Amino acid sequence: MARKNSNDIMDKIVSLCKRRGYIYPSSELYGGLTSCWDYGPLGAELKRNLKAYWWDAMTNRRDDIEGLDAAILMHPEVWRTSGHVDEFVDPMVDCKTCKMRYRADKLAESTCGKKPSKTPLECGGELTEARNFNLMFRTFMGPIEDSSSTVYLRPETAQGIYVNFLNVKNSSRQKIPFGIAQIGKAFRNEITPGNFIFRTREFEQMEMQYFVRPSEDDKWFEYWRQERWDWYESLGINVDKLRWHEHGNDELAHYAKKAFDIEYEYPFGWQELEGVHNRTDFDLDRHMEATGKDLRYYDEQRKEKFVPYIIETSAGCDRTILTILVDGYDETEVKGEKRVFLRLSPRIAPIKAAVFPLVKKDGMPEFAGKVYEELKKQFKVFYDESGAVGRRYARMDEAGTPYCLTIDGQTLEDETMTVRERDTMKQTRMKIAEAVDFLSEKVR
Ligand code: GAP
């Protein structure tokens, strides 16, 4: 069912994103391009922080996972082997009445092009029979545009990891179980993109493939489910809005033996945020068969060779950004005025702290400027001296900045300043010399 209030909240978030420089419609000067979005100054910073947070958890803090950054364009045979050329399809229907196109399996969640309060099942439009549509974007490599030069924009980053399994294993000398992590763009010619950055045709994935002994797949599958759940919790996402959804046989991707999605309750309903999949030996087996290369792992201790099973954790970067924005968006009445707060975790907030002189006189701007210059060496901070301090706080609350540091008359006497926390709006006094330690503890 199309939800009544969902548009309202989503519209407010889209408008906040535009206003504060998080996300803009792509090519807006030209009227925009469906489902494409550009990250503005704060959005780019948030995205960088999110990716760094994931990368840190998945690689830097672990001895058993290596990083990779594979090319988007891969040999076209990779996608035939992986099954994407034949099986990466969605069933599509057309509405003969409003001429819109829908995913046949998502009609109950779609909105009619002419009557947005109704789904295509309810609006009375006549739908065609479903037919399959391949989601991969095609392009040509080199100057000749024919089938021999067709290449695909990768629809998932995972295959870049599989075809590098041997390279990474040999150069890193990792022993099973070990993983390879990658962040990168993926492209899918979605039939019905929508809900802002939830489903787009160009998006970023944060994927990790963990190679295990086949007999230990269930154990590692459960391990990674827990790890990924904990990661979202550590990001400050409200866990009451998270749940698991196990894929039934009719939902399982062609490569998966078992799959669980972490779902989030968006304003438009419960939807997938991340997938944890047991891909078995499907991918390595198929690449081995297609290339004739031996991708088996040799266990020196046990003197045995086997094709590892793969446990995959596959998160959407943009979808996580949407989750963070939706989860953090809050309207609260402050002194009779409705105010917007973006309650982002300090770990990923674009601006960690704002530095204000209380007033533009009595040496306060000079003092605040020095504090700002000092903090800037370590953190993304913002200096603002324009307007009443209350308005400056409000601007930072809406931009998601967790702390505001204010230099006032007392600062000049004892080198203390006020630290205002966005979420409690409480102010405490702190020695300026303690600010670096304070912010370090909060943001790292
Ligand atoms: N390698 C496995 C894989 O790609 P998936 O469930 O198709 O699995 C993983 O995608 C994640 O990628 C999803 O949970 C979602 O977060 C993100 N994702 C997939 N399609 C997307 C789209 N069209 N727009 C934005 N994010 C998308």
- In short, whether 156's Cβ falls inside 6 Å of ligand 1 is yes
Q: Categorise residue 240: left if φ over 0, alpha if ψ from -120 to 50, beta otherwise.
A: alpha
The confidence score (pLDDT) of residue 147 equals 85
Kindly report whether the global pTM for this prediction surpasses the value 0.75. Answer: yes
Distance in Å, CA 208 to ligand 1 centroid: 13
- Domain that residue 412 falls in: 351-443
Shared-domain flag, residues 49 and 129? no
Helices (H), 26-83: 41-55, 76-81
The confidence score (pLDDT) of residue 3 equals 46
- In short, whether 278's Cβ falls inside 6 Å of ligand 1 is no
Considering the domain boundaries, does residue 386 fall inside one?
Answer: yes
Buried b (16+ CB within 10 A) or exposed e, 89-115: ebebbbbeeeebbbbbeebebbbbbee
Considering the domain boundaries, does residue 332 fall inside one?
Answer: no
- In short, whether 350's Cβ falls inside 6 Å of ligand 1 is no
Shared-domain flag, residues 186 and 314? yes
Shared-domain flag, residues 177 and 266? yes
Shared-domain flag, residues 209 and 298? yes
Distance in Å, CA 182 to ligand 1 centroid: 14
Considering the domain boundaries, does residue 96 fall inside one?
Answer: yes
Domain containing 388 — which CATH number?
Answer: 3.40.50.800
Shared-domain flag, residues 365 and 240? no
Shared-domain flag, residues 428 and 407? yes
Query: Model confidence over 284-323: pLDDT tens digits?
Result: 999 999 999 999 999 999 999 999 999 999 999 999 999 9
pLDDT class of 4 with cuts at 50, 70, 90: very low
- In short, whether 286's Cβ falls inside 6 Å of ligand 1 is no
- Write the single-letter amino acid at 224: W
Give the distance from CA 94 to its chain's centroid: 30
Q: In the chain, pLDDT over 90 holds for what percent of residues?
A: 87
- In short, whether 199's Cβ falls inside 6 Å of ligand 1 is yes
Considering the domain boundaries, does residue 127 fall inside one?
Answer: yes
Considering the domain boundaries, does residue 334 fall inside one?
Answer: no
- In short, whether 203's Cβ falls inside 6 Å of ligand 1 is yes
- In short, whether 205's Cβ falls inside 6 Å of ligand 1 is yes
The confidence score (pLDDT) of residue 441 equals 95
The confidence score (pLDDT) of residue 298 equals 96
Domain containing 302 — which CATH number?
Answer: 3.30.930.10
Give the H or E element holding residue 305: strand 304-306
The confidence score (pLDDT) of residue 2 equals 42
User: What does the alpha-carbon distance between residue 261 and residue 47 come to, in Å, rounded to a whole number?
Assistant: 22
DSSP string, 141-208: SSS--SGGGEEEB-S-SHHHHHTTHHHHHHHH---SSEEEEEEEEEE---SS-BTTTTB-SEEEEEEE
Of 116, 134, 152, the position where a domain reaches its end is: 134
Shared-domain flag, residues 55 and 129? no
- In short, whether 160's Cβ falls inside 6 Å of ligand 1 is no
Average pLDDT, the chain: 95
CA angle 428/433/438 to nearest 5° reads 55
Of 134, 166, 194, the position where a domain reaches its end is: 134
Shared-domain flag, residues 278 and 372? no
User: What does the alpha-carbon distance between residue 1 and residue 109 come to, in Å, rounded to a whole number?
Assistant: 6
Considering the domain boundaries, does residue 338 fall inside one?
Answer: no
Query: Model confidence over 370-421: pLDDT tens digits?
Result: 999 999 999 999 999 999 999 999 999 999 999 999 999 999 999 999 999 9
**Whether 215 contacts 305, CB under 8 Å:** no
User: What does the alpha-carbon distance between residue 138 and residue 150 come to, in Å, rounded to a whole number?
Assistant: 7
Shared-domain flag, residues 122 and 143? no
Considering the domain boundaries, does residue 343 fall inside one?
Answer: no
The confidence score (pLDDT) of residue 179 equals 98
Greatest mean pLDDT among 92-96, 144-148, 169-173 lies in 169-173
Shared-domain flag, residues 279 and 374? no
Of 134, 166, 200, the position where a domain reaches its end is: 134
- The count of domains in the chain is 3
Shared-domain flag, residues 74 and 206? yes
Nearest atom, ligand 1, residue 207 CA: 1
pLDDT class of 116 with cuts at 50, 70, 90: confident
Shared-domain flag, residues 34 and 8? yes
Considering the domain boundaries, does residue 415 fall inside one?
Answer: yes
Distance in Å, CA 316 to ligand 1 centroid: 6
Query: Model confidence over 254-276: pLDDT tens digits?
Result: 889 999 999 999 999 999 999 99
